[in-house]
Structure 1
Amino acid sequence: MAFSTAAGLVLGFAIDRVAGDPRRAHPVAGFGSAANRLETLTYADRRSAGVVHEVLAVGAVIGLGLALRRGGIIATALATWTVLGGTTLARTGNAMADLLEAGDLDGARALLPSLCGRDPEVLDADGLARAALESIAENTSDATVAPLWWGAVAGIPGLLGYRAVNTLDAMIGYRNERYLRFGWAAARVDDLANLIPARLTGSLTAALAPVVGGRPGAAVHAWRHDAAKHPSPNAGVAEASMAGALGVQLGGRTQYRYGTELRPTLGEGPAPTVRDLRRAVRMSEAVQAAALLVAAVWAVRPSRA
């Protein structure tokens, strides 16, 4: 079983590298539609209702994962491909850099929503580069490192369960009027699910900083001194370590469609440029590959039971 899991993770990662996200009928989109329908039945402006929603939605997906465990390497590979988003993330980051280098701000603004929820209409070229870079940093953990980690720990149920948790957080884990209480459980479960993966991402980013001409010590320094200032206990680790590795400063005034936030600054150095965005993509790809190695080794480790 351990070898089957490790081999499935490697094969699924390879499929993602070749094909990217499924182009049609993406299972994650299907889960999102099902979760929306479930919300019409479970919604109430209470934390308890949100807990019920989380248990039903995530529990159903984990149950599906348990049923698929007998599928061996192929089932694990397909589940891994389904939940990974690292290749599409890197391709989108490079596409954003291409548009910015060509001076196509309209095209860059149209592309930004596929990376993050910022308001692209108020961003100039540097603002678009920073928004894309911060998304690359955070989603390196969410889209690849975390699912690989949970796949190594719990096989197909871990892969699918993590993606369900992360998707629900993206759907309802907001502090707005509708979801402040109902989305509380989704946000907290996602925080817990990403505690280890985010720190693995930070560690790998620091270790691999020389890949982009950075220093491991600078990445660790930014992590230790700045990550805790971020409103997310996990995104702060990924973004601060990336800022330190690249030698740039992230954070500051951040404009979303629902309003403006003044985010704490992460790292020391100038604001990121298009060149730094390309460096961030290279770092993301290196961290993803290293995370696969860690996950495969963890999956086949001798049991201590």
Structure 2
Amino acid sequence: MTLLDLLPWLALPTAFFLDACFGDPRRLPHPVRWMGRAIEIAEPFFRRLLAREFLAGLVFAAVLILGCWGLAAGTVFMSYRIHGALGFAVETVLLFYCFSARSLAQAGLEIHALLVNGKVDQARAKVAMIVGRDVEQYQADDIGRATVETVAENAVDGVLAPLFFAVIGGAPLAMAYKMVNTLDSMVGYKNPRYLFFGRAAARIDDAANFLPARLAVPLIALAAWLIGAAGRSALVTAWHEGRRHASPNAGYPEAAFAGALGVRLNGPNTYGGVLVEKPYIGVGLAAVRTCHIRQACRLMFATSVLGCAVGWLMSLAVFL
């Protein structure tokens, strides 16, 4: 076995390492931004193509997801045909763009630093950029809770789910997942414009995250134990309270984080001026404080490293 034979197996850890070192390269072209642009361009076409909104949205989502997979698969295949090193480089770069562990940690720690320095207004403005709720009345502890929830949920969306799909289908399937996730973030809303047209995208996203969200729980628990947090409590809280969330998936990582950190998450929030009553996750645990943001970022990163290691070993077992 030569080094060229090993290169496809090395793409995943190399991509994760690059993300851990450099994060989101904002000054460089990014496929997710291209996905967003493709969604904006395609939406009016499919709305005109089919009169029934749900059917139009279903075809719209399917074409974009399959098109993204096909484009990535063709690019990776042709790159490996030209030379193994080129294929490795292309697959590594595509996977690198799928992960966001460092960017997520940076966003959380930036808010933490602002709160520590008493800059609540600036922290509120930052958290408004990463959550969909009304935050105008949020004080330091509310901002901390929203940040911890975002770190917990995006540990799956931004790291573990792309890892999951990369292990079973390489960079093309990971890129297809990013399209699924981007579609949900842009059209998966229950408002008059997207109630029917975006329903298929939202359901596809729910299905894509079903296994990653649940597989995340033991990873979070083990990572918590390794860094000295409450690993057993993470498992217990996720088991008993993971379903206490409007999303069929987000509650599991949030509950695992709540148990690991010993904090209470979720609860009532205001969206567009309307108060939405939501159950708490981590009932009986302490309220989130500013210090928990740093702990959540540390737990997210430890979980991401552990997930990459497990996924890498699984891919090696298949490769060999």
Q: TM-score with structure 2 length normalisation?
A: 0.90
Aligned partner of residue 228 in structure 1, secondary structure: coil
- Between 1:40-49 and 1:148-157, the stretch displaced more is 40-49
Q: After TM superposition, give the deviation of residue 26 of structure 1 in Å.
A: 2.0
Q: Considering only CA atoms, is the larger Rg found in Structure 1 or Structure 2?
A: 2
Q: Distance in 1 between matches of 2:5 and 2:154?
A: 27
Letter in 2 for 1:218: S
CA contact (8 A) 1:118 1:131 kept: no
Q: Which residue of 2 aligns with 1:288?
A: 304
CA deviation profile, 1:258-282 (whole Å, cap 9, x unmatched): 6332221111311111111110000
Contact 2:9 2:319 in 1 (8 A): no
Runs of 5+ unmatched residues, structure 1: none
Aligned to 1:102: 117
> Over residues 41-99 of structure 1, what are the superposed CA-to-partner deviations in whole Å (9 max), with x where a residue is unaligned?
11366211111110111111011111122332211110111111111000110111000
TM-score, L = length of structure 1 = 0.94
Instruction: Measure the CA separation in 1 of the matches of 2:170 and 2:43.
Output: 28
CA, structure 1 residues 6+232, in 2 after alignment: closer, same or farther (shift >3 Å)? farther
| Residues 197, 4 of structure 1: alpha-carbon distance in 2 compared, 3 angstrom cutoff | farther
- What fraction of aligned residue pairs are identical, expressed as a percent? 35
Q: Is 1:223 the counterpart of 2:223 in the alignment?
A: no
Aligned partner (choices 123, 128, 134) of residue 113 of structure 1: 128
Cα distance, 1:2 vs structure 2? 8.7
Write the distance in 2 (CA, Å) between the matches of 1:218 and 1:77. 36
Unmatched tracts of structure 2, length 5 or more: 80-86
Letter in 1 for 2:11: G
Q: CA RMSD in A?
A: 1.8
Q: SS at 2:194's partner residue? A: coil
Cα contact 1:68–1:156 (8 A) shared by 2: no
Q: Distance in 1 between matches of 2:309 and 2:69?
A: 24
Q: What residue number does 1:235 align with? A: 250
Please say if 1:30 is aligned against 2:37.
no
Aligned AA for 1:288? Answer: S
Instruction: Give the alignment of 1:56-95 within 5 angstroms.
Output: 56-70=63-77, 71=79, 72-95=87-110
SS in 2 for 1:23: coil
Find out whether 1:202 has 2:213 as its counterpart: no
AA matched with 2:203: R
Pairing partner for 1:129 from 135, 144, 155: 144
- Which residue identity does 1:7 align to in structure 2? L
In 1, the alpha carbon distance for the partners of 2:209 and 2:8 equals 20
Task: Give the Cα separation in 2 of the matches to 1:178 and 1:280.
Answer: 35
